[in-house]
Structures are given as C-alpha cells and as structure tokens.
A and B are shown apart, each in its own frame.
Chain A
Amino acid sequence: MSSFTLISAALRRKKTRTFLTFSSVVFAFLIFGVLSMLQTAFSMGAEIANEDRLVVRHRVSLFQLLPQSYEADMEEIPGVVDAMHMTWFGGVYQDPSNFFMQSPVEPAEYLDMYPEVSVPEEAKLRWIETRNGAIAGRALVERLGWEVGDRIPIQPTIWRQDGRGDDAWEFELVGVYDADVEGFDQTQFLFRYDFFDEARSFGRGQVGWFMVRIADPDRAPEIAAAIDDTFRNSAAETKSESEGAFAAGFANQVGNLGLIVTSILAAVFFTILLVAGNTMAQSVRERIGEIGLLKALGFTSSRVQRLVLMESVTLVTTAGFLGMVLAVGLERVLRPALAAYFPGLFLRPEDLLLGLGLAVVTGLVVGIFPARRAMRLETALALRRL
C-alpha cells in the first residue's frame, strides 16, 4: 500500500463524476491530437520546405504566366545554382472530385531540384523516351487504382490542345514516385513540358512559376531581391520568396490556421480547466472531514497538499494520455485513408510530447487551488465535518 492507494480511493469515491470528468478530458486531448494533425497537414509545405529553394512567380498572382526564358536569365544571377519551371495544368480526371495537382516539368531538372523524390531508373528512362509519359505519386496511384502502363485521360479546363477543342489530353503512366520526406506531397501528376508546350493551343513558351536552387540559404533574401530586380519594369515582373514562405502563404489562403487551431484549443482547455477544476474543488469540499482525519492521523499539511495535487495530476494526465493514444489510433486509420487528400496528415512526436506536457500542466493548474485549500484546513475544525 502506498500514497497512490489513497489517491485511487479518492478518485473512486464518486465513480460517475470521475468517469464524466475523465471522459471530457480524454475527448479534449483527442481534439488536441486531431487539430494538431490538421495543422501539420496544412503547414507541411512550409515545414518540409528546403531552405535552399526559392519560388519565383508572377508579381500579380500565381496564375499569371512568366516567360520560360527567365530560367536561363536566373541561372546567370550569382548565387543561383539551378532553376526549373512548373505550370498549373488544372485538368480533370473523370470527375472533378478526383482533384490532384498536375504540372508539366522537364524530367531531369525536376528530379535534380527535388532530390527527396525517388523514381526507379527504368521509369526515368521510359519517361525520357515517351513524349506523353507521366509519373505520379504513390498515394495518387493507389487512390485511383492506376498501374504503370495505363493511359490516363485528363480533361482540360485551361490548356486545350491545338486544333483538338475539348479533347482530353492522353498521358501514359510510366512510373510512380516515392518521397523519403514525411509529408511530401505524393499526389502530384507530372508530365513532360516539351510535349505540353508543343501541343497546347496558346501560351507557348510561358510557364507558371520557377523553382530556384541557391548555393547559400543565408543569402536567400538577397538573391530573391536580385531576381526580382532583374525582371523589374519588364512585362512580367516577378515575386521571389523562400519555398517555406511560399508554402505558408499558400496554406494561409484557407485562413490563419495557426490562430484558428490555437483559439479552438484555448476554448477546449479553458472548458477543461472549469470542468476538472470544479470536480476537484467539489471532491475536496466533500472530503473535508476525511482530510481532517488524515491530518489527525499525522499527515502533514504539505503531504495532504501533495496528495490532492497528485490526485488531480493523475486524473488529468491519465485521461490526457488516453486521449493522445486515441488520437494516435485515429491517425493510424485516417492517415492511409486520407493520404491522397492530406499528404501531411500525421501526429508529430513533438505534438505528442506537447500534449502530454499540457496534460501534466493542466492537472497541476486544476489541482493547485483545491490542494491549497486542503493544506490550509484546520484539523480540529475539519474533524467536526466527520
């Protein structure tokens, strides 16, 4: 028998009340886990952004085109190692609900720019040999049940083929890419730029945006400014920023997710403080006689305080831990199911630790006032409540 026996006895004293409080804390931490996952999913672009990559887009918007010739100009700027371009294709595969990102790229340049992307050698060769060849991310291929060699018709919404009206573009899936970075978007569909450029009905020589690799990430602001200066006063001025800033700006189009998530969590935890705090306060109020008895038996005031505090921490921490375990369980179910829509949907270890830390702190905050009350109780007065 130890002090924990007394804590356990106190918690079992009103089982229904303890159960309800416990459940609400479990639910709060489950919400915490789920919101953390969502936040990670939305901010993953910025999280995994490479410090040595810049995104260069039209100064007005991402959907204004830039001349492809800028690529060579940028590669001349000191500090720039390499540049490549991508373009928003925006086609529809069978049904608009099958949304995924499509872009024409130059295969070798793309793979150089993204070393985290791996494609089997034979697929690379097939891609270079096949003019309408395309590669797709593993999550997308699994979601749509494609196999290498399949013909993939994509209905255009922007880029029609010259002289072919609304006919679908037809691509051949030559390979599947994987990424060795957690959260990297594995739902992209990438096809050859030369095939696209020759076949499109307008905008030849125009691209959507550039990815630029720089030699020294510390010089990113300076190089970004140099790029923008190069094209200032031209017909297509640019806006250059780091890949992380670009991804964060893109995610924030949905809203300030960090603020939204933090606000929801603050409301949830404030409620929990009230619920669990009320439970603990009520529990101590009902046990004044019992606490007086412990003091009479020789338990010091500080020991009584510790017991009440440990009771609160045990209640909230155990519930918090269970909530986080349930969140991990939910992640195991949701992650594969939603990988094609939310590639970064996962619970980061630091969020798990934060959750557990939050549980301990909440337990302490919830317990501090009832514990102080228990500590200050005068033994003789408390015994009258027996």
Chain B
Amino acid sequence: MSETSFSDAAAGNGAATEAMVDVRSVRRTFQRGRTPVPVLKDLTLRMEKGEFLALMGPSGSGKSTLLNLIAGLDRPTGGEVIVGGSEIHRLSERKLAGWRARNIGFVFQFSNLLGALSAERNVAVPLLLTSFSARERRRRVDIALEIVGLSDRGKHRPRELSGGEQQRVGIARALVNDPMLLVCDEPTGDLDRATSGEILDLLVALNRDHGKTILMVTHDPVAAERASRTLHLEDGRLADCGHDGTVVVPVHEPAGAAV
C-alpha cells in the first residue's frame, strides 16, 4: 500500500486552536519616486492552524502584498509578522529563504513548471535545498504526486500535460517539503470552471485530510466559497473589520469550518 503523507503527524489535523499566522499592526509602504504609497495600513490578522482562509479584494487592495509578507517574500514597513511561531519580520534575507524552503509551499496562478524537466523532476526542485537522501527524495516525490493524483504522469513533460494537470504538478511541488503553510495566489485564475473545481477539491482535501493550513488569494467568489473563512481587503485594510483592524468578522462559515 502506498503512502499518502510525509509524516505521521501531518495527516488528520483538523483542530484549529493554535495561531499559524499572527499579523500585528502591519504597515507596508512602497516608495514611488519620492512619494510614499501606503498599501497595507495597520492591518491585524490571525489565522489558525488547519484553517483554509480565502483573501479577496479588488486589484490594488493589498492582497498580494499581505500574502508576500505572510509567505516571507517581503518585509513590513512596520508591525510584526509571526508565522508558525517565528517572527519572520526579524529574519535576514538568507534566513528567510531557508525558512521559506522549510515551511511554505507556493501555488501560483500559472504552474510555471520548468519545461525541460519531467513532472517528477519539477516536483523535486524544492528538495535540492534539503539534505534528504536520494531515496527519501524519491519517496517524497512519489507521495506528492500520489496526493495530487498524478502518480502515473511523473515522467511526462509539462507540455504533455493539461492545464489542470500542470497545476496539480505545481501543487505537488508545493507539498513535497511538507510545509506548514500553503500559500496560493489565484490558483484557479488560469483554469476553466471544471478544472478549477478539481483544483479546489484538491485544496479542500489537503486542508481536510492532510491538515494543511491554506491561505488563498482569489478574485473568484466561487473559489472563496470553498474556503473555511473569507476575508475582504479594501484599500489596505480588512473590510470586514472595525477601523482599528483587530476584530475579524468572517463573511461566512461553512459547516465544520475552524475559526
């Protein structure tokens, strides 16, 4: 019987009692020439472990900026970003890269696979940063491909796969290091409705069956409905919060959602 998780502790963790993401009074201001452009304005957000959170908002509202801060791709101008207990706003660029490699799985709008590599080699790219043995790497790639339902497509090049399959390979790549947080930026933005549904089913299953905490940025209300909680950003603030930004009001709470 094949394995379907990387470690015993990974699966079946649906409890949402610990904070996975704790964003405290975060500000992010960009410089456009000499003009400061505030994008996130004193934003506070808490996300529990095992949660599947959708982040919505119009273009320019600061969704991607917030996602980048939580994923350790950017630093706040002010405030604190604590993810999985690590104060990542304090980490150097080098340490942050190592932290991302160990803890964050990225799923993008376009799978952006390396065209010259087979699906399984694409999945194995993040493992180049680990000290796992060749055997362990092989095992992890097999598990990741099995989770996304592509065990038999590992040898195929990206151009031989459909758009949905390519996105699944992208998700397998995000999973292969068994990250504590999956960060998805418009994961269905480039897919048709039916394929989007399959990808969302997969994300829901990863959250429900494998205990993955997922933060998803989306424009699509149908996609957002699949999450356990949805937050709206507008003009750098959570639209569903009070002006002090500390009270998070869920838009909807599907049955079984962990808040």
Contacts and interface: CB of A to CB of B under 8 A. Distances in A.
Contact of A297 (B64, B68, B115, B125): B125
Given A1-B137, A6-B125, A297-B129, A290 B97 contact: no
Interface of A is mostly: helix
Interface string B84-128: 000000000110011111100010111010111100010011111
29 contacts: A1-B127, A1-B137, A3-B128, A6-B128, A9-B117, A13-B115, A13-B116, A290-B114, A293-B106, A293-B108, A293-B112, A294-B125, A295-B97, A296-B100, A297-B106, A298-B97, A298-B99, A298-B126, A298-B129, A299-B97, A299-B101, A299-B129, A300-B93, A300-B98, A301-B93, A301-B97, A302-B94, A379-B73, A386-B110
Contacts, number: 72
Given A1-B137, A5-B121, A298 B98 contact: yes
A62 interface: no
B73 A383 contact: yes
B71 interface: yes
B235 interface: no
B146 interface: no
Contacts of B94: 300-302
Given A295-B97, A296-B100, A298-B129, A5 B117 contact: yes
A289 interface: yes
Contact of B101 (A10, A298, A380): A298
Interface in B207-255: none
Given A2-B128, A6-B128, A296 B114 contact: no
A8 B68 CA distance: 30
A9 to B, nearest CB: 4
B101 A297 contact: yes
B128 to A, nearest CB: 6
Contact of A386 (B71, B112, B117, B121): B112
A375 to B, nearest CB: 11
Given A6-B125, A379-B74, A383-B185, 4 more contacts: A5-B121, A8-B116, A296-B71, A296-B73
Interface residues of A, number: 26
A348 interface: no
Interface of B is mostly: helix
Contacts of A298: 97-102, 126, 129
Interface in A361-386: 379-380, 383, 386
A382 B115 CA distance: 19
Interface in A1-49: 1-3, 5-6, 8-10, 12-13
Given A293-B108, A298-B102, A380 B129 contact: no
Nearest to A298: B101
B73 A380 contact: yes
Contact of A1 (B99, B109, B128): B128
B112 A289 contact: yes
Contacts of B68: 380
Nearest to A9: B116
Q: Which of A10, A296, A379 has the most CB of B within 10 A?
A: A296
A201 to B, nearest CB: 79
Interface string B192-209: 000000000000000000
A13 B113 CA distance: 12
Interface string B132-143: 000001000000
A6 B128 CA distance: 10
A386 B187 CA distance: 13
A8 B114 CA distance: 11
A218 B100 CA distance: 69
Nearest to B124: A1
B53 to A, nearest CB: 19
